[in-house]
């Protein structure tokens, strides 16, 4: 068929469009689809186009080309053509001063927003909002492109600005859905890698540029744009998927290596360049595997603008930081850990967010994500903002953020940061600086219900995961079931044990006998929650010194103290967590801007400490008595908790069947005790598993033996006993069979 160019009746200057032209030029148009695109007028079709910088426009239908007329010497063009069956079936040939392009008109496409999604989102019950909001590749009527959706209910107008439209907010003004407060648009022919933001006009006239809250990829800071990216879902190795239910359970051995990806190891001539996710997969995975850790935990990897926040002030709650690579690269790192049989946890931060201009603060010109009242919406400790946990759409946002790390990236668990700051309305506030709840109390009821909802739904939808709380108070039932009034976490960091035991170890051994209870008090509450014993990054920064430097004495005693402490920790009920650098005795406290001091491993004391951590982990995994009953008093018995005079601690750990046990004996003084007698619950042979004074670990070699035999001599209330030499500043472990 021969195609002709038709010039229809000339449209006279239409002064009635001047208000619309002004609004388009100002990028402030609330009902943009009510004006631009195809519209029936007097039984004809008018196609209205706003194309800044264009010299001429031709509308191409299936059989004819129509010249669009420029209106009022503006960038508004109108083609007035006969109506036909499919008024949306056309393309645009746009002539610019230096080029001519053929494009699709984004204003001819209907909305792709799902009404059921909008309902659940506005109800606070949407756990997969990231599939609908944000930028996503899609196809409409055979046309490939990307759809963008944004919740900004109080905005006067919203535009997508990007590389594609030269960051011109007049080019792609979005459609508003008043009922849901969501704006959307479909942009044809966009490709991966396009940088974009949202240009928001507030009701006050203020103009704001924001990154996409739901973006899965963002620019490397200090740049702040979102990046359109097609992210393939993570494929969990089947070997890991089949075992995840048991590997992350409360009766499983869980020993976690906490890592800050930006400072574990660096590269380059100046030692400042980050390792990529791919390089971390090549180096970190085998390292963690060799040391015998069962899990790794990354400090926050949600995109964040300021390195000094360590990730705890995120702006991209759905985007792995681009500092180390793409989202697929991060998913690859997760998969490589799981392929090696190592679970992956990440820090997740729903307690606060920064006030960076491109982030969530005053998102649409109003306090949308945060409380307007500073007594509820501002964190005095961190100079950050607090989410409005009572706003339904914010609940959907946070719920979806938690879920995306399981669904899209396949992680095994979330360690939820600063839970206490969420639970208490008066957290770190003086009288008059907080607002009581509806009952007059200090509990944040909205935050509590949100935490419960997220925990319940994440466990239901992602079997075998771990939800871990960093909760620093005595809030009851943190790991209790929601149905019984608990918060629904699987595990809780034992901050009390950490504070007490580190305080004890910091003391001169000469005076430790006066503070014996600092090491025994934890057993009063050890089974009230499912605990993880953390020696985290928080204990080796801000002038606190490294773990090694917290220990008293000369260099030999520092290493011996730390070895004894690790042995005691691995014997104590509770899962284990150790921050990177602690495994080989970093002298300096952690610095997020520098690599760990790997050169220290050329020295025997540091090698010895690393050998101990490796052996503790392998011993721990091989002895069910050391982990099966972490949450039950049935698996623990003191032998002698009262020997303060000699600062010796002795206790038994049992497996679930109580057929096997491990005796832990710790001496926290530099004294050596020969032929020390200790009562034991069962006759037989006690095999030495660990002696932290072993020369292999840098010790003096006292008390080394393959096994000791029991004697029928009463001691510590037991009918049987063993006799052994107890080395200075050391912990020993002995395995035994329980005889009927």
Q: Cite the active site residues.
A: 417, 470
Whether residue 719 is preceded by a cis peptide bond, meaning omega within 30 degrees of 0, is no
**Is 219 in contact with 322 (CB distance < 8 Å)?**
yes
- Alpha-carbon span 49 to 45, nearest angstrom: 13
* Alpha carbon distance 733, 453 (integer Å): 42
Which neighbouring-strand residues pair with 638? Answer: 651
Instruction: Please give the Cα distance from 359 to 578 (Å, whole number).
Output: 32
Q: Is the separation of the CB atoms in 149 and 113 below 8 Å?
A: yes
Helices (H) and strands (E) counted in the chain, each on its own, are 16, 38
Q: Nearest-5° angle of CA 725, CA 731, CA 736?
A: 75
Distance CA 591, CA 603 (A): 21
Please compute, for residue 179, the number of CA atoms within 13 A of its CA located in the half-sphere on the CB side.
10
Q: Distances from the Cα of 632 to the Cαs of 489, 525, 531, in angstroms?
A: 17, 11, 11
Work out the widest C-alpha separation in the chain, in whole angstroms: 115
How far apart CA 496 and CA 380 sit, in angstroms, is 24
Q: What is the DSSP string of 317-382?
A: EEEE-TTS--HHHHHHHHHHHHHTT-EEEEEE--S-B---TTSSTTTTSS-SSB-SSHHHHEETTT
User: Which string of DSSP letters, residue by residue, matches 641-684?
Assistant: S--TTTTEEEEEEE-TTSSEEEEEEEE-SS--EEEEEEEESS-S
3-state secondary structure 106-150: HHHCCCCCCHHHHHHHHCCCCCCHHHCCEEEEEEECCEEEEEEEE
How many Cβ atoms are within 10 Å of 157's Cβ, its own excluded? Answer: 24
Burial class (CB in 10 A: 0-12, 13-18, 19+), 372: exposed
């Amino acid at each position: 068929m021969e195609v002709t160019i038709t010039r229809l009746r000339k449209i006279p200057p239409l002064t009635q469009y001047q208000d619309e032209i002004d609004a388009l030029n100002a990028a402030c148009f609330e009902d943009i689809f009510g004006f631009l695109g195809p519209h029936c007028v007097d039984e004809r079709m008018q196609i209205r186009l706003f194309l800044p910088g264009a010299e001429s426009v031709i509308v191409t239908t299936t059989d004819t080309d129509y010249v669009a007329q420029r209106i009022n010497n503006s960038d508004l063009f109108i083609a007035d053509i006969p109506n036909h069956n499919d008024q949306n079936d056309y393309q645009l040939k746009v002539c610019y001063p230096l080029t001519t392009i053929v494009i699709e008109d984004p204003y001819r496409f209907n909305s792709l927003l799902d009404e059921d999604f909008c309902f659940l989102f506005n109800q606070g019950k949407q756990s997969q909002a990231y599939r609908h909001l944000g930028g996503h590749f899609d196809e409409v009527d055979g046309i490939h492109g990307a759809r963008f959706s944004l919740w900004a209910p109080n905005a006067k107008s919203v535009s997508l600005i990007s590389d594609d439209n030269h960051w011109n907010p007049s080019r792609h003004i979005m459609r508003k859905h008043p009922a849901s407060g969501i704006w959307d648009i479909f942009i044809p022919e966009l490709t991966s890698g396009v940088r974009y933001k949202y240009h928001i006009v507030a009701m006050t006239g203020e103009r704001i540029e924001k990154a996409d809250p739901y973006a899965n990829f963002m620019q490397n800071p200090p740049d702040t744009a979102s990046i359109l990216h097609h992210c393939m879902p993570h494929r969990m190795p089947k070997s890991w998927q089949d075992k995840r239910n048991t590997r992350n359970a409360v009766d499983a051995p869980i020993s976690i290596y906490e890592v800050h990806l930006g400072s574990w190891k660096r590269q380059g001539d100046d030692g400042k360049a980050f390792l990529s996710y791919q390089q971390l997969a090549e180096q970190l995975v085998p390292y963690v595997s060799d040391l015998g850790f069962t899990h790794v935990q990354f400090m926050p990897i949600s995109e964040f603008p300021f390195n000094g926040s360590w990730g705890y002030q995120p702006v991209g709650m759905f985007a792995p930081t681009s500092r180390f690579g793409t989202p697929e690269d991060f998913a690859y790192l997760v998969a490589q850990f799981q392929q090696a049989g190592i679970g992956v946890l990440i820090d997740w931060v729903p307690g606060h967010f920064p006030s960076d201009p491109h982030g969530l603060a005053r998102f649409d010109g109003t306090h949308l994500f945060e409380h307007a009242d500073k007594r509820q919406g501002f964190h005095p400790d961190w100079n950050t903002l607090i989410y409005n946990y009572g706003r339904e759409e914010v609940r959907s946002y946070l719920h979806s953020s938690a879920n995306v790390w399981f669904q899209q990236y396949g992680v095994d668990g979330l360690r939820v940061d600063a839970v206490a700051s969420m639970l208490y309305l008066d957290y770190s506030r003086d009288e008059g600086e907080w607002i009581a709840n509806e009952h007059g109390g200090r509990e944040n009821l909205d935050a509590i219900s949100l935490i419960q909802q997220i925990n319940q739904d994440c466990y239901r939808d992602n079997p075998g995961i771990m939800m871990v709380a960093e909760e620093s108070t005595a809030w009851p039932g943190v790991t209790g079931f929601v149905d019984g009034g608990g918060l629904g976490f699987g595990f809780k960091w034992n901050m009390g044990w950490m504070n007490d035991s580190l305080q004890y170890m910091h003391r001169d051994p000469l005076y430790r006998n006066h503070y014996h209870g600092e090491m025994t008090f934890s057993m009063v509450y050890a089974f009230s929650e499912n605990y993880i014993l953390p020696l985290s990054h928080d204990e080796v920064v801000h002038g606190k010194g490294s773990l090694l430097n917290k220990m008293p004495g000369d260099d030999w005693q520092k290493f011996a103290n730390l070895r004894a402490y690790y042995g005691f920790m691995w014997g104590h009920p509770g899962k284990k967590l150790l921050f990177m650098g602690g495994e080989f005795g970093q002298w300096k406290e952690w610095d997020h801007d520098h690599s760990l001091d790997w050169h220290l491993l050329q020295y025997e004391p540091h090698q010895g400490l690393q050998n101990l951590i490796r052996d503790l982990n392998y011993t721990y995994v091989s002895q069910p008595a050391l982990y099966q009953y972490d949450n039950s008093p049935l698996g623990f018995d003191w032998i002698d908790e009262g020997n303060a005079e000699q600062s010796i601690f002795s206790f038994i750990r049992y497996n679930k069947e109580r057929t096997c046990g491990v005796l832990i004996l710790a001496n926290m003084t530099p004294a050596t005790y020969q032929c020390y007698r200790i009562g034991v619950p069962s006759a037989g042979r006690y095999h030495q598993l660990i002696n932290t004074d072993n020369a292999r670990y840098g010790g003096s070699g006292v008390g080394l033996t393959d096994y000791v035999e029991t004697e029928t001599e009463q001691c510590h209330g037991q009918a049987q006993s063993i006799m052994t030499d107890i080395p200075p500043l050391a912990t020993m472990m002995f395995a035994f069979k329980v005889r009927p």
